[in-house]
A and B are shown apart, each in its own frame.
Chain A
Amino acid sequence: MLAILATLLGNTLLYATPLTFAALGGMFSERSGVVNIGLEGMMTMGAFVAAVISIATGNPWLGLFLAGAAGGILALLHAVASVTFRADQVVSGVAINFMANGFSMFMLYKIFGGGQTPHIQTKLVKLAVPGLAKIPYFGEALFNNYPTVYLAFIFTFAAWLVLYKTPFGLRVRAVGEHPLAADTVGINVFLIRYICVIVSGVLAGIGGAAVSIGIIAEFTEVTIAGQGFIALAAMIFGKWTPWGALGACIFFGAANALDAIGQSIGMIRYVNPAFFSMLPYLLTIIALAGFIGRANAPAADGKPYDKGH
């Protein structure tokens, strides 16, 4: 039983990791007032680039790094559209998702002649924390996991530090709540939003890489399949905060892990796995409706800022 629980815990963290990166990214973007439903596309792009680079160079870390860069470039497009040209942020996000899907599939056919990469021989390898990994059962799950899992926790802490303990974080929050007031006291609203949107793309890109070279070892059209939207859900469920987002991602990761190993655990047998897959989406809707503590978006979320008015 303990062994099953330990495996479950390890898988939970593994599945939560890509979501955490992307959810933290989404949080930065939305806290600055830019809705980012392009997370899905940015994850797709990251997953694709990480896979290709790992195969081409044999270096998964370079893949991870460039996945972040690719996500950032895609996010720059979103920023240009939604910040500079005041486009509808949802429409721009839709375009980003189309673009990532189309471009990655186009390149996939060009490079590999088909709809999927070969199996990636050089994906990220598990990293044991000396000493701690020796703890019976749970040491293996918690401290002998993929490096991206540890990074997700470090990034969450860093995001909390930046958002709540630095002048920059204060500016981000001010811009997301009341851009006009922030502008009046000399904060560059456009610059802050550009930075936050690009950061969201970088993080989502890394999140995508955490799937293609972290969990599975290939990239196909269905590699991301909705995980960007689950990350968006996690961010909302976590009420636009770093620890909240992490908690939601772990919870959704657990739903995913239960789904995966469900049949082997006693009472899970009676619950259809489809239920666990639906859970993140349903809970987010319930949370938004205010049935389990109201989730309120930043006040200026989704509204383009027009300096002229």
Chain B
Amino acid sequence: MVSLKPNSRKILELAGVPALAIVLGLVVGAIAMVWMGYSPVQGYRGLFAGIFGDSFSFGETIRSMTPLIYTGLAVAFAFKTGLFNIGVEGQFVLGMLAGALVGAALPGLPWLIHVMLAIGAGALAGACWAAIPGLLKGKFGVHEVITTIMLNYVSLILVNFLIRNYFRVTAQEATANVAPSADLTIVALKHLTGGARVHWGILIALLFMVAIAFILYRTTLGYEVRAVGFNPMAAQYGGINVTKNIVLAMLISGAVAGAGGAVEILGVFGRMAVSPVLPGVGFDGIAVALIGNNNPFGVLFGAFLFGALKTGAIQMQYQTQVPYAIIRVVIAGIVFFVATKEMVRWLLRLKRREA
């Protein structure tokens, strides 16, 4: 088992690397702003106002962090098993479609049951989609990074094809609207936040987070998947079925991603439309999991950080004319510096020596 009392140096390093990476990411963004003739002080002030400025901004921050919790958890869980699930994007998209279809069908069901069915459908779709790379990895040893990347694009084309040919109800190439009995909107909160699209999905996400943490650290399954992630050979030698755990980890990861997709439809979009591009939240989930050190509670922090940056950026563009795309540069910088933690540690050591 992992020690439950990490020493202070470990904590410093665990928190120090992401913290410094965030600072460095913001510095990269600032440099880009200066280079293009914007004031980074004004830009970041606009960004901050766009996150916490008023109840609407804060509500929108919550909305945009919600899907990131699901995708971040999905990436983190797979990562704990030593799997790099880049396919969260595709699993999320299939979850969106399944959620939209079940959410629109069966109107009149009791709210809780309909919601659970729709989210369950999303989870099932995501799990099935993730089973493909899981089985290929478990049975044939095919590297999951490539298969999941390929399946992301297949999912986009497939979902568009299905909507266009089978599920469209309007001339606008979209599925039917989700029935009120599956709507996740919190009406009172919507009024309170001046129309921000906060929805029950955030609470469901927190439930998922606790469940994932429980599975990982309090069950045999969690122990086994972590053992496989830590050292597959040793796990196999210790009597753990590696293939089974790889497939199971992908199924759970895909289910969480798919549930997130369904929630996004039920809570925000209300229907699934044909799209030329992938939504991107699955890729963001990689960043979220990384900054959260693949820990479920770390994921919550990462989701808040990136959700806040994405929401704040829109307000920033509105107020200061700094294009919101700058925030993707900041996020890229943060991911880059977390990835090169050797470099960040080196910088940390350098700073300590100066002190």
List residues of A whose CB falls within 8 A of some B CB. 35, 37, 77, 80-81, 85-88, 90-92, 94-99, 101-103, 105-110, 221-222, 225-226, 229-230, 232-233, 236, 272, 274, 277-278, 281-282, 284-285, 288-290, 297
In Å, the complex CA distance between A36 and B336 comes to 14
Residues of B within 8 A of A97 (CB): 283
The chain A residue with its CB closest to the CB of B33 is A106
List residues of B whose CB falls within 8 A of some A CB. 32, 36, 84, 86, 132, 136, 140, 142-143, 145-147, 149-154, 157-158, 160-161, 165, 276-277, 283, 286-287, 290, 323, 325-333, 335-336, 338-343
In Å, the complex CA distance between A88 and B333 comes to 15
Q: Cβ of A106 and Cβ of B32 under 8 Å apart?
A: yes
Residues of A within 8 A of B146 (CB): 232-233, 236, 284-285, 288
In Å, the complex CA distance between A233 and B152 comes to 13
Residues of B within 8 A of A277 (CB): 157
The chain A residue with its CB closest to the CB of B290 is A91
The chain B residue with its CB closest to the CB of A277 is B157
By secondary structure, the A interface counts as helix
In Å, the complex CA distance between A236 and B142 comes to 12
Query: How far does the Cβ of B162 sit from chain A's closest Cβ, in whole Å?
Result: 9
Q: Cβ of A109 and Cβ of B323 under 8 Å apart?
A: yes
Residues of B within 8 A of A109 (CB): 323, 325
Q: Cβ of B323 and Cβ of A289 under 8 Å apart?
A: no
9 A-B pairs whose Cβ atoms sit less than 8 Å apart in the complex: A35-B145, A81-B343, A85-B342, A95-B333, A106-B328, A226-B153, A229-B150, A272-B161, A290-B140
Q: Cβ of B326 and Cβ of A102 under 8 Å apart?
A: yes
Q: Cβ of B143 and Cβ of A87 under 8 Å apart?
A: no
Query: How far does the Cβ of A150 sit from chain B's closest Cβ, in whole Å?
Result: 29
The chain A residue with its CB closest to the CB of B148 is A285
Residues of B within 8 A of A98 (CB): 283, 287, 328-329, 331-332, 335
Q: Cβ of B157 and Cβ of A278 under 8 Å apart?
A: yes
The chain A residue with its CB closest to the CB of B343 is A85
The chain B residue with its CB closest to the CB of A101 is B328
Best-buried of A35, A37, A94, A284 by chain B (most CB within 10 Å): A94
Residue in A77, A102, A107, A278 whose CB lies within 8 Å of B158: A278
Q: Cβ of A81 and Cβ of B333 under 8 Å apart?
A: no
In Å, the complex CA distance between A288 and B143 comes to 8
In Å, the complex CA distance between A81 and B149 comes to 21
Residues of B within 8 A of A80 (CB): 340
Q: Cβ of B339 and Cβ of A95 under 8 Å apart?
A: yes
Q: Cβ of B325 and Cβ of A90 under 8 Å apart?
A: no
Residues of A within 8 A of B84 (CB): 90
Given that A81-B336, A103-B32 are known contacts, is A288 also in contact with B328, CB under 8 Å in the complex? no
In Å, the complex CA distance between A227 and B326 comes to 23
Q: Cβ of B286 and Cβ of A102 under 8 Å apart?
A: no
In Å, the complex CA distance between A277 and B323 comes to 33
In Å, the complex CA distance between A107 and B326 comes to 9
Q: Cβ of B149 and Cβ of A37 under 8 Å apart?
A: yes
Residue in B150, B323, B336 whose CB lies within 8 Å of A92: B336
Q: Cβ of B150 and Cβ of A99 under 8 Å apart?
A: no
What 10 additional pairs, Cβ within 8 angstroms, besides A102-B325, A284-B150, A285-B150? A81-B343, A86-B342, A92-B339, A103-B32, A108-B323, A222-B276, A229-B150, A274-B157, A274-B161, A285-B146
The chain B residue with its CB closest to the CB of A91 is B339
Q: Cβ of B161 and Cβ of A94 under 8 Å apart?
A: no
Residues of A within 8 A of B323 (CB): 105-106, 108-110
